[in-house]
Structure 1
Amino acid sequence: MSILEKIHDVPVLMCAAEGEPIRGEREVLDLIGNAGCQGAEWVVVPAERFDDAFFRLRTRVAGDIVQKFVQYRLGMAVIGDISRHTEASSALRDFVRECNRGRQTWFLADVEELRERLADRP
């Protein structure tokens, strides 16, 4: 289940922590379609919804998912503790750091951090 919420006048689709695991393109396209139908500009996905392959960069799952969001001009925020994954992979740490420097994909601790970032958006 997903709920559309406005954060600083930005429509954000908030995905529930419970639900089908996001393994790849099929699930992401469903999310993107749902976001488009509701007029969302950002999609918030709890980290636990992602299959572990997402956090292993060599699988290319994360890159493919991020690319889909870029193609559809939607922001994606992965919310939650991913420290067990970043501690195990310097490549993932670098990926997260680079994403967080941009304006399209963010890995954040919680929704409050998302609120702060969206407030600072130009």
Structure 2
Amino acid sequence: MADRVDQLHGVPVLVCDAGGAPIATEQDALDHLVGVAFGQAEVVAVPAGRLDGRFFDLSSGFAGQVMQKFVNYRLHLVVVGDISRELAASSALPDLVRESNRGRHVWFVADLDELAARFA
């Protein structure tokens, strides 16, 4: 499956392919997520498995860098998939996920159905 733009309750969402290029640097995020979405989607739904492990290790700063890029380009980032292992391994990540899910710019969801329900 290739990346595609779907309409979820009228919101254009770039649904990224799980087998796409890994996101291991800020430039990867710009090239493979922001650049692809820009002008055609408001939301980028990226499978958690495409994100480098440093994204979930908040001490690396990588998650903050990626999230800031999305805010700068006025796009919403949605991390899709099971991150229970990463949550269990971190004391700070659960707080970030909880606070992000209360906001509007970055969400963590289990699947696309959960994302669609947020737009309903």
Aligned to 1:33: 35
The one-letter code of the counterpart of 1:58 is S
Aligned to 2:101: 100
The one-letter code of the counterpart of 1:12 is V
The structure with the greater share of residues assigned to helix is 1
Aligned to 1:69: 70
Aligned to 2:113: 112
The one-letter code of the counterpart of 1:49 is R
Q: Percent identity?
A: 53
Normalised by the size of structure 2, how large is the TM-score?
0.95
- Structure 1: 5+ residue stretches without partners: none
CA distance in 2, matches of 1:66, 1:118: 20
Shift, 1:24, TM fit? 1.9
The one-letter code of the counterpart of 1:19 is G
Shift, 1:42, TM fit? 0.2
Aligned to 2:53: 52
4+ runs of 1 displaced by more than 4 Å?
none
Shift, 1:118, TM fit? 1.3
- Structure 2: 5+ residue stretches without partners: none
CA distance in 1, matches of 2:106, 2:42: 12
State the Cα deviation string for residues 17-58 of structure 1 (Å, max 9, x = none).
002110121111111111014x10000000000111111000
Normalised by the size of structure 1, how large is the TM-score?
0.94
Shift, 1:3, TM fit? 0.3
Moved more, 42-51 or 17-26: 17-26
Aligned to 2:24: 23
Shift, 1:90, TM fit? 1.4
CA distance in 1, matches of 2:51, 2:25: 9
